[in-house]
């Protein structure tokens, strides 16, 4: 079975992709598993450019079909912040809890109806000897006043989905994979991956 590299060291993200790409005729491996510890350049101004850069960087190193994504949270009341800086918003060594608290503090005077936001994700698929393809997904909601739920990572505990009355961290993983920004982008990428694996 051919190998497909998932360019992440984030275990939560890797576990999600295991489910999202289940049933494909690829053995999914991570950077750790193939012994790659170099860091890809990730200093572009858009999610798409960062995802493409990462996928092509690690595909060139590994010789494998490589999946990379760049994703983040865009809060309307903050002019789209934290955006591409989502993981570094509260500082380079911040934990998920630090990031959540930092964002909530910035929004402490913003009323509930103005706390609209969206998660965006761009997945890039780099194919050795071929062109890189990108796929985008987004999920709209708003920022809760305090964290709720145990099922997610990152900003999931404060990303509230009005139609479900829950945060992303409170919904079942199956539903999250269906409606999340990463789930929606992965559904589009899956069609390409199925064609590559001979399905």
Residues assigned a catalytic role: 70
Spatial distance between the Cα atoms of 71 and 98, rounded to a whole number of angstroms: 18
Cis-peptide, bond into residue 88, ω within 30° of zero: no
Query: Which strand (E) or helix (H) includes residue 74?
Result: strand 65-75
Residue found under tokens 């890797």: 14
Give the burial string for 57-74 (b: 16+ CB within 10 Å, else e): bbbebbebbbbbbbbbbb
52 phi and psi angles, rounded to 5 deg: -60, -45
Name every residue whose Cβ is closer than 8 Å to that of residue 163 and which is 6 or more positions away in sequence: none
In angstroms, rounded to a whole number, what is the distance separating the alpha carbons of residues 3 and 21? 13
């Amino acid at each position: 079975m051919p190998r497909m590299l998932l360019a992440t060291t984030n275990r939560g993200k890797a576990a999600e992709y295991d489910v999202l790409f289940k049933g494909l005729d690829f053995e999914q491996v991570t950077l750790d598993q193939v012994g790659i510890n170099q860091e890809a350049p990730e200093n572009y101004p858009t999610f798409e450019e960062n995802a493409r850069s990462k996928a092509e960087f690690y595909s060139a190193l590994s010789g494998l079909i490589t999946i990379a994504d760049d994703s983040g949270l865009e809060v309307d009341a903050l002019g789209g912040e934290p955006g591409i800086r989502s993981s570094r918003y509260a500082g380079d060594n911040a934990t998920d809890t630090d990031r959540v608290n930092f964002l909530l503090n910035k929004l402490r005077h913003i009323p509930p109806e103005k706390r609209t936001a969206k998660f965006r994700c761009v997945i890039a698929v780099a194919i050795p000897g071929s062109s890189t393809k990108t796929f985008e997904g987004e999920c709209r909601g708003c920022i809760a006043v305090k964290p709720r739920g145990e099922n997610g990572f990152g900003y999931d505990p404060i990303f509230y989905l009005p139609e479900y009355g829950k945060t992303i961290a409170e919904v079942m993983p199956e539903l999250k994979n269906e409606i999340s920004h990463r789930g929606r982008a992965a559904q589009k990428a899956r069609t390409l991956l199925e064609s590559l694996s001979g399905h």
